[in-house]
Structure 1
Amino acid sequence: MPSASTSTTTSPRAGTAPVRQARTPAPGLFLTLIAVCSAVTAANIYLAAPLLSLMARDFGSAPSAVAWIASVAQLGYAVGLLFFAPLGDSVNRRRLVGGLTLVTTAALAASAAAPGITALAVAVFVASAATVIPQLLVPLVAERAPAERRGRHVAAVIAGLFAGIVAARVLGGLAGQAFGWRWVFAGSAVLTLVLGLATALVLPSQRRREGPLFAGLAALPSVLRHSPDLWRACLRQAGMFGAWSALWTSLALLLTGPEYGLSTATAGLFGLFGLTASAVAPLAGGLVDRFGAARVVRSAYLLAAVSVPLFWLGGHTLGALFAAAVLIHAALVASHVANQTLALTATSTPATANTAYVVAGFAGGAGASALAGFAFSHFGWGGVCGVAAVWLVLGWGLTAVRR
């Protein structure tokens, strides 16, 4: 219930009351700033992946012994989403984004100074848990967008997310090779601080209705139970993101291993294929607006299914690896744009629904990444491809029957 101090002025969405009009930039500039901020903060989750070999050398371990750091980052992000992202429905976004920016910056600095693998894992976990800023911004973008262009606006932010992932792999690999992996984390800390605070300053400042702080978290089971569309989007994206994560987080081990023998910097350049995602996102947004989310997700799963045998062949043939990288990124981003647009419009609490959706995706990614590290150690690259195939089958098979 609202307290006596709550403003009586209501906003278009129940549960919020603006304190004052925020001085936001022009819509195009505002969307661009959010996309850039999302790119920088999303990159934090993937910083470790292209640097695993350098970390292993620094700590005197085998590359496979530190591969689990990549899954720790994804697990941390999923935990952070579970606790922080639902607050977007009840807490002032400006203060929340500013606070999380400071925590992320401190954790990245601690990662850069970590004396050992365990300390690094803890710092990476905290940084990933706090860097949930993009998923506080996406619901805001969906709320502000015209209904007929909502898919395109969501796609613009998702394009920024994937640009950040590409930058983490490509620039992270190059910078790590040139200056050391610790400087990569330190540089990301500076970028996160600048972009995060700049974004917080232009966000609408709202006073939310009072209630339990984690009411959104408590409502997750009910929201999922009463929204079959949201439930289906969650499972399908968990399967798709798990398949992508298994392949992409293990790829550096294949490229820097005996089969190809590439340097960390050269292997990092392979991430340029991730630019496919940034190019496909606007197209996917338009297709969602025109044909609906279900048809786009179905097509994305077909692309991913084709990419898995190509990845397996890429264990020995570089050309097949190139083709597979393009296909898996196109599949992932098309699926993500469609499923997230559906999740954001499936309920009256978009931040809570978005939390369920992204947590499901990253939980699937963390599980697949952890299993892929085990599979690579025991069965090689073929084992990693097997993990990806299983995740795709589960993601589609568990949602194929209507409920």
Structure 2
Amino acid sequence: MTDRQHGVTSGLTSRQVFLMALACALAVSAIYYHQPLLPQIATSFGVSPTRGNLIATVTQLGYALGLLLFVPLADSVQPRKLATMAIAGNAIALLVCAMAPSFRLLIASSFVVGVTAITAQIIIPSASGMASPERRGRTVGMLLGGLSSGVLLARTLSGFVGAHFGWRTMFVSAAAFDLALIAVVARLPRATGLAAIRHRDLMRSLVSLIRTESTLRISIATGFLAFGAFSAFWATLAVLLAQPPYQFGPGTVGAFGLVGLIGLVASPYIGALVDRIHASLVSAAGALTVFLAFVLVSTGATHLSWLLVSTVLLDLGNRAAFVANQARIYSLRPEARNRLNTAFMVSYFLGGAAGAAIGGIGAQRDGWTGLAAVGAMLALLAFAASVVGYCKAYMMAATDEV
């Protein structure tokens, strides 16, 4: 049979899905290059590690703003055109980061990097709209595998480049990667069925969607909390590993990103699991896995092996919650997938910004134990939100049967 008949999605060839996953990988990398480099950047500007963590926080905040302002437009503007404009802006912002003479300018340009690094969240809803309902979870899982590849590339490559050539070289290289991303986006399929909706009306409809869709509200709460825990860890890891007893440099910290290979392999299987069982159960299991990860993080000062295990668990748990949440919101209103995705992803990265800030405070006050306490608390709250979502869905199904 042909690739279209046997492909992973209806309406897309396997090659097109691969290109979409590649574009997601290159796009999302921009908001993670800085993480292994934070202590090095802070030292170069003579600021404290805690103040250096502001880079992680403002990048996440910028990403959330970019999602809010621009991603809804993909319901009415050709996504390929919108993504190309965002990528061009991202490349310019990365170059400004590379040349920033002051910490304040670096903070400002990092914010713009976040605002313009939104291409993946334009692509994923479009691809989901082309997937058959029974394959949507698997499709989202495959594209999230592309996202994971980007995160893996960003952390590992930036650690290596920072250690050998300095952090500014990494930002110049990232701008060059954006040129490759533009070439990939140009080959993506054109979207169909776009609606003629004014931007102001799109913004108003976001509020309406949140108010009327209880599933979206549950996903927003779960995503905010789970990614908050995840971001607390990664925004703080480089600072803690740079201290005794480890005193690791950016190259070694970046190598921690290699644990993402396990999650990368697992993404399609997680998506397939979402297709078979209720998304809230997968989300709850992911939150519990994140909680277990932070239990192990509390031993980080004395047990490097347990810290590595916790990194794997954290990646798997966050991935499970993310795939489950995105798969279920995409099934709500086909004509509003980009707006649904915007509502979810804005809250998701606001959670990331909050987690980075709170995690930094916890680590400053009590080291590994402080970080573990912050992450575990956020994970338990995410689990509670997932349970509420499952109970609500169960009661609605029982009512429909009656």
Which TM-score applies when normalising by structure 2? 0.90
TM-superposed deviation, 1:360:
1.1
Contact 1:150 1:289 in 2 (8 A): yes
| Kept after mapping to 1: 8 A contact 2:57/2:357 | yes
Q: What whole-Å deviation, never above 9, does each CA across 1:340-380 have from its counterpart, x for those lacking one? A: 01111122411000111111111111101011112222222
In structure 2, the partner of 1:330 is 316
Cα deviations by residue, 1:181-237 (Å, 9 ceiling, x for unpaired): 011111111111221343134330658443322322221121012111111111111
Cα separation, partners in 2 of 1:26 and 1:82, compared to 1, 3 Å: closer
Q: What's the counterpart of residue 355 of structure 1?
A: 342
Matched-pair contact (CA < 8 Å) for 1:227–1:347: no
How many residues align structurally? 379
Distance 1:89-1:295 versus aligned 2 partners, 3 A rule? same
Give the conservation status (yes or no) of the 8 Å contact 1:223–1:347: no
| Structure 1 match to 2:375 | 388
Q: List aligned pairs for 1:6-21, cutoff 5 A.
A: none
CA distance in 2, matches of 1:346, 1:26: 21
The aligned residue for residue 93 of structure 1 is 79
CA distance 1:289–1:211, shift in 2 (3 Å): closer
Determine if contact 1:68/1:373 at 8 Å carries over to the other structure: no
Change beyond 3 A, Cα 1:289–1:205? closer
1:38 CA drift (Å):
0.8
Q: Structure 2: state its 5+ residue gaps.
A: 1-10, 393-402
User: How far apart, CA to CA, are the structure 2 residues paired with 1:209 and 1:37?
Assistant: 24
Residue 49 (structure 2) aligns with: 63
Give the counterpart of 1:186 among 168, 172, 187: 172
Consecutive unaligned residues in structure 1, runs of 5 or more: 1-24
Find the aligned partners of 1:359 and 1:392 in 2 and give their Cα distance: 19
Opposite residue 117 of structure 1, the aligned amino acid is: F
Describe how 1:226-305 pairs up with structure 2 within 5 A.
Answer: 226-305=212-291
Show the counterpart of 1:109.
95
* 1:162 paired residue among 148, 168, 181: 148
In 1, Cα distance between the equivalents of 2:165 and 2:135?
A: 43
Give 1:117 deviation, angstroms.
1.1
**2:362 matches 1:375:** yes
Q: Give the drift of 1:91.
A: 1.2
Could you tell me how far 1:104 is from its partner in structure 2? 0.6
Distance 2:74 2:169 in 1: 32
Of 313-322 and 173-182, the range deviating more from structure 2: 313-322
Higher helix share: 2
Residue 169 of structure 1 and its aligned partner are, at CA, apart by: 1.0
Distance 1:292 1:31 in 2: 25
Distance verdict in 2 for CA 1:44–1:343, change over 3 Å: same
Identity, % of aligned positions: 33
Q: 1:316 to 1:198 in 2, by over 3 A?
A: same
1:210 aligned to which of 176, 188, 196: 196
1:42 to 4, 20, 28: 28
Q: Give yes or no for the alignment of 1:223 onto 2:205.
A: no
Hey, what's the Cα distance between the residues in 2 that align with 1:206 and 1:334? 30
Residues 205, 340 of structure 1: alpha-carbon distance in 2 compared, 3 angstrom cutoff: closer
**Are the counterparts in 2 of residues 308 and 388 from structure 1 also a CA contact under 8 Å?**
yes
Are the equivalent residues in 1 in contact too, given 2:300–2:368 (CA < 8 A)?
Answer: no
**TM-score if structure 1 supplies the norm length?**
0.90
Aligned partners of 2:126 and 2:191 also within 8 Å: no
| Root-mean-square deviation over aligned CA pairs | 1.7
SS at match of 2:224: helix
Amino acid at match of 1:178: H
Q: Distance in 1 between matches of 2:75 and 2:108?
A: 29
Distance 1:399 1:148, change over 3 A: closer
Runs of 4 or more consecutive aligned structure 1 residues displaced over 6 Å after TM superposition: none
Residue 280 of structure 1 contacts residue 334 of structure 1 at CA under 8 Å; is this kept in 2?
Answer: no
Residue by residue, what CA displacement relative to the aligned partner does 1:76-102 show, whole Å, maximum 9, x if unpaired?
A: 101100111111111121211111111
> Residues of 2 paired with 1:263 and 1:97: CA distance?
35
How far apart in 2 are the matches of 1:162 and 1:367? 21
| Residue 340, structure 1, aligned to residue 326, structure 2 | yes
Using the TM superposition, give the Cα deviation of residue 387 of structure 1 relative to its aligned residue in structure 2, in angstroms: 1.3
Contact residue 93 and residue 203 of structure 1 kept, 8 A? no
